[in-house]
Amino acid sequence: MLSVRISFVSASIPSVGHRDCVKETILITGGAGFIGRHLAHALLERGYRVRVLDSLIEQVHGHAKVAQGLAPEVEIRIGDVRDAGAVAAALKGVDRVVHLAAEVGVGQSMYAVERYVSVNDCGTAVLFEGLIANPVKRVVVASSMSVYGEGLYRAEDGTLVENALRRPRKAGEFWDPLDAGGRPLRPVPTPETKLPALASVYALTKYMQERLTLTLAPAYGMEGVALRLWNAYGPGQALSNPYTGVLAIFAARIHNGQPPMIFEDGEQRRDFVHVEDVARAFVLALEHPDAPGQVYNVGSGEDRSVREVARLLAEAMGRPDIAPEVTGQARSGDIRHCIADIGRIERELGFRPQRDFTEGLAELAAWVARQQAIDRVADARRELEARGLVA
């Protein structure tokens, strides 16, 4: 069983002035999860009332049907976002909604297709049918960097490449996407203006979630905002879920004395953003007058290779002797590089990432040391291999 104890660190969020004296109620769907718990804390600090609707699925929460890590002031309702009755009841008296409820995992989405489409897209449809009957001021949905597929690249001649694709790789060839002359393209930060390239079922469902929000909210007099999240990390992640964030998966392996498993060559680059910065972005998206109708990237603005991150985490956890296992295999649905351009959310909402990555890793390592984590990574790998999704 995963023991959850989260130490929250307060961080200031600029006031936008429109609700300082008004106490509103915020509904967070999926609010008992990793991001939801941190967001609930941030909202309580801002003076909001917080209600959570969560089905407490076993893959994330274990066998206990109890929401852990939420403050006693949070009103908790156990229910599935696909249950129209549960959604309607949860929406009564609510002023704004943050929609986090979703199945999360690129690899798993490629075979648990009905489950991902049902929860993510049908669940969002049910939520909006409830909102049509009981509209709120604003809905903020959690989207994902996965909707970009491969990020933005630059060719040797300086031209930007939005539609980079990786052809089936032969032994000895580059892992990176190539230009017409067979030369690797260089990854550059990806802005919100890049067209989506949906490379997995998970990406398809997240894009549908954001488009439903941005289409239906204004049609019924509400405001809609979508946040495309990069790789969130921090204390409180589901360490026993082999399809969750990569740092949580690595931490569970290292905690159990096993090497982190990395697909391809480990040089794929990602942006890792602390969960408190993610919570701060959601608060801004809920409050800022310029946010409605917009899509924003949420990351740290820094990128690192997955191999480097595995090494740094092992050091932070006091196990520098554990080197990652680099498989040299590709997993269906994965992309090579995707780096966050956070210029828009900085300019328009005043978002500034505040958590240092090294300090964040140390905090995560200290939290993991107090937990129990069941390492299910090998089981997940066998599942993918049996279905021909790893080669």
Contact 147, 190 (CB under 8 A): no
Residues near 326 by beta carbon (within 8 Å), at least 6 away in sequence:
262, 264, 265, 266, 307
Look at phi and psi of residue 69 and say left if phi exceeds 0, alpha if psi is from -120 to 50, else beta. left
Residues near 300 by beta carbon (within 8 Å), at least 6 away in sequence:
230, 271, 272, 273, 274, 277, 340, 342, 353, 355, 357
Contact 340, 272 (CB under 8 A): no
Sign of CA dihedral 222, 230, 336, 186: positive
Q: How far apart are CA 67 and CA 58, in angstroms?
A: 12
Q: Which of 48, 202, 243, 296 is catalytic?
A: 202
| Cβ neighbours around 260 below 10 Å, total | 26
- Any catalytic annotation for residue 202? yes
| Cβ neighbours around 5 below 10 Å, total | 11
Query: What is the set of active-site residues?
Result: 202
